[in-house]
Amino acid sequence: MRKPDSDAVGPVPAAVEGAGSGSAGDGKSVPVVTVVLFVVGVVVMVLAAANITNLSEWAVRWGQIPVFLVFFLVMAIGGRWFWAGIDAAIAAVRGREG
């Protein structure tokens, strides 16, 4: 175990040390906002996939181009949030290994 340096001020409060993360002090955990966005992204993509059979009905009602653009936008945002969560989780795992 390493002794603290003589010029150290003292322990860093847990509120500052682990702000926004799951475990205080390691600096390699995933922020809470990223986890929430990951979960929301998964939910958005699952709901979009569940409603894919309704696209033809929506295209008749509102037109093909608006339906395509909105569906693409929803899937792009959900996918971005999903991959942000995956990237953060992979970075946290890699940080713990090294």
pLDDT tens figures, 8-58: 444 444 433 444 445 545 556 788 888 999 999 999 999 999 999 999 999
Asked whether residue 6 is domain-assigned, the answer is: no
Whole-number pLDDT of residue 98: 61
Q: Would you state the torsion angle of the CA atoms of residues 84, 89, 93, 98, taken in this order, to the nearest 10 degrees?
A: 30
Q: 65 lies in which domain range?
A: 30-97
Structure tokens at 15: 């509120």
Whole-number pLDDT of residue 28: 66
How many domains is the chain partitioned into structurally?
1
Q: Do the Cβ atoms of 45 and 77 come closer than 8 Å?
A: no
d(CA 37, CA 68): 24
Q: Do the Cβ atoms of 84 and 38 come closer than 8 Å?
A: yes
Asked whether residue 46 is domain-assigned, the answer is: yes
Whole-number pLDDT of residue 55: 95
Query: Rounded to an integer, what is the distance from CA 35 to the centroid of its chain?
Result: 4
pTM: 0.64
